[in-house]
A and B are shown apart, each in its own frame.
Chain A
Amino acid sequence: MKAIKTLLFYALVVVIVVQAVFPFYYAIITSFKSGTAIFQVDYWPTAISFDNYTRVLSSGSFLRNIGNSLFVATTVVVLSLILAVTAAYALSRIPFRGRGLLLITILSVSMFPQIAVLAGLFEMIRAAGLYNSLFSLVFAYMIFTLPFTVWVLTTFMRDLPVEIEEAAIVDGAGPWTIITKVFLPLLWPALVTTGLLAFISAWNEFLFALTFISNNDQRTVPVAIALLSGATEFETPWGNIMAASVIVTVPLIVLVLIFQRKIVAGLTAGAVKG
């Protein structure tokens, strides 16, 4: 009886693992096929050809698209972290009237449907001459990275003991010194986690990137992959799409697996502790 139970348990574990990794595994083996081999359904790797990779990287503007995504996501993360650390300090360590209301407002903004601001943002971006510019995305992405980083850093900072600040205050340190000298060294793990999560959401964003950029050279990776087209309108270049997908996904998976414990902590800090 116990043996059957153990067997069933491990069968369940196998099902969970296979369903989770199979689609990506299949994308990888597809990306290594060339020519008409791609139209043959295979469950195991049959050939290793880099044709799709060289074609994706050499033709069009895919390398530029990767650069664009890196630029946008990095800038967004750095800006939101700078704004969020000081704001989170104020929200978590200094009691003032209206703090609760402010936190509710920030939380609500993080639940905003992006579509609700799309029309207004489009008008602003066109008026500012930022249409087709990567800075339009840097600005627009603040709407979801900023509330998230503020919220997570606030929950993190408010759990730090009062004592660490007291000594600094007694010594006459001002708030700015307290943030940079006392909190920043303690915050590094939280900054890495929230920064990584914000980076991933900026890297993956699609709606704004689709709407505010219409020029192939300025596009970010998700839109570039979604719009990859073949020689003719009716021919979808599946090999290229899979190669492009693998290229942009492998670094993300590696990052997530390295930081997996911290990511789980970061995700739950935003939600469960709320």
Chain B
Amino acid sequence: MAGPVSRNSELGRQRVRAAWGFLTPMLLVLALAAGWPLARTIWFSFTDARLSGLDEASWVGVLNYVEYLDYGDGEGEYFGLLADPSWWAAVWNTLRFALISVTLETLFGLIIALVLNASFPGRGLVRAAVLVPWAIPTIVSAKMWAWMMHDQFGILNDMGLALGLIDAPIAWTASPDTAMIAVIIVDVWKTTPFMALLILAGLQLVPSDIYEAARIDGVHPVKVFFRITLPLIRPAIMVAVIFRALDALRVFDLVYVLTPNNDRTRTMSVFAQENLFQFDKFAYGSAASTLLFVVIALMVILTITLGRMDLEGRRS
């Protein structure tokens, strides 16, 4: 947008000065709350900082990331984050969680969005009901589901047994085989509404005369969906998927509360937090935080470059 005043006039220069005046407080707060702490976290990852003595931290280079201990006679061993199997397990858990949950959320979100885009009596009520999981705090969702998934008194086992789906009660959140499934179930339940709403917004931008024309030409509805609807709402789906994927990669609260201390669900964020504040390995935790940041930053940069977002503020 060019704005009502030319940038080079006296009035324009005055407005640009005012703009920086307005931006400075916001930028200052962001620099203090985001920029500086991020820089410190990265710095800590190259030190030997401990929770009890942050001030005495001194530079150790990349030892937190990788360290080779030479035992002599050509033998030695690698230490550090990049050689730590429990870190790689956390990376793998996070990727698995993000991939499966975002895929399911997109699929279910698309179905719900298509239903909400049809006109039928009571649609408003259905949309309100769909919003409920989104409105519930993550911690509350985790607790509600933990109770439903309780191994002895849980309603999920009761249903499963009654319907003959399972032979014996399952300890959903504690058993290594089902803990990740439990986390994914709760995450999908909680965030599908977000996906559905974003996709629905995309669906509502599709002009209805396209459907009208397809109907008159006698095109099969399934073909209409794959040939017309899906290509047109692809940008909306992509944006929703990217937002959700970035969110899923940094997941902490759900995993921490639903399946505490479980090797099969520990994500990168949980791994970092535990090392920082529970295991007194502040520098090691900082290194894990830094690596997670690098992964997400690369994804964001990729997204912004590929997405060709209209960031100059021009009206399309």
Contacts and interface: CB of A to CB of B under 8 A. Distances in A.
A86 B20 CA distance: 10
B137 A207 contact: no
Nearest to B114: A12
A163 to B, nearest CB: 8
Nearest to B6: A95
Interface string B232-267: 000110011001001001101100110000000000
A41 B19 contact: no
A256 B292 contact: no
Contacts of A129: none
A95 B2 contact: yes
Interface in A53-85: 83-84
Nearest to A214: B277
B40 to A, nearest CB: 3
A166 B4 contact: yes
Nearest to A246: B140
B107 interface: no
A130 to B, nearest CB: 12
Contacts of B300: 108, 111
Interface string B10-26: 01000110111011011
A231 to B, nearest CB: 18
A103 B311 contact: yes
Interface string A247-266: 01100110111001001100
Considering residues A89, A114, A124, A271, which has the most beta carbons from chain B within 10 angstroms of its beta carbon?
Answer: A271
Given A87-B23, A120-B39, A225-B140, A100 B135 contact: no
Nearest to A90: B19
Contacts of B111: 12
B236 A272 contact: yes
A24 B20 CA distance: 47
Contacts of A104: 304, 311
A216 B17 CA distance: 47
Nearest to B295: A113
A226 interface: yes
A35 interface: no
A89 B22 contact: yes
Given A120-B41, A256-B135, A13 B126 contact: yes
Interface stretch (B67-75, B96-104, B211-219, B283-291): B283-291
Nearest to A113: B250
A16 B126 contact: yes
Interface stretch (B143-151, B175-183, B223-231): B143-151
A120 B139 contact: no
Secondary structure type dominating chain B contacts: helix
Contacts of A169: 4-5, 11
A49 B233 CA distance: 49
Interface string A191-220: 000000000100110110011000000000
A193 to B, nearest CB: 13
A203 B311 contact: no
Interface string A11-24: 01100110111011
A57 B144 CA distance: 19
Nearest to A142: B33
B30 to A, nearest CB: 6
B315 interface: yes
A109 interface: yes
B131 interface: yes
B221 to A, nearest CB: 10
Given A113-B293, A256-B135, A120 B193 contact: no
A91 interface: yes
B184 interface: no
A206 to B, nearest CB: 4
A99 B312 contact: yes
Interface in B1-56: 1-5, 7, 11, 15-16, 18-20, 22-23, 25-27, 29-30, 32-34, 36-41, 44, 54
Given A24-B144, A169-B4, A100 B33 contact: no
A95 B44 contact: no
Interface of B: 1-5, 7, 11, 15-16, 18-20, 22-23, 25-27, 29-30, 32-34, 36-41, 44, 54, 111-112, 115, 118, 120, 122, 125-145, 147-148, 150, 152-155, 158, 189, 193-194, 197-198, 200-202, 235-236, 239-240, 243, 246, 249-250, 252-253, 256-257, 268-269, 272-273, 276-277, 282, 285-286, 289-290, 292-293, 296-297, 300, 304, 307, 309-313, 315
| A-B complex: 5 closest residue pairs judged by Cβ atoms | A120-B37, A120-B40, A90-B19, A116-B293, A113-B250
18 contacts: A17-B126, A20-B133, A24-B132, A86-B22, A86-B25, A93-B3, A95-B1, A113-B293, A113-B296, A115-B292, A116-B290, A116-B292, A116-B293, A118-B272, A175-B18, A200-B135, A268-B197, A271-B198
Given A226-B142, A241-B143, 17 more contacts: A10-B120, A86-B25, A95-B3, A108-B304, A115-B272, A116-B293, A123-B44, A124-B37, A203-B137, A206-B257, A222-B137, A222-B139, A226-B256, A241-B147, A257-B135, A264-B200, A272-B239
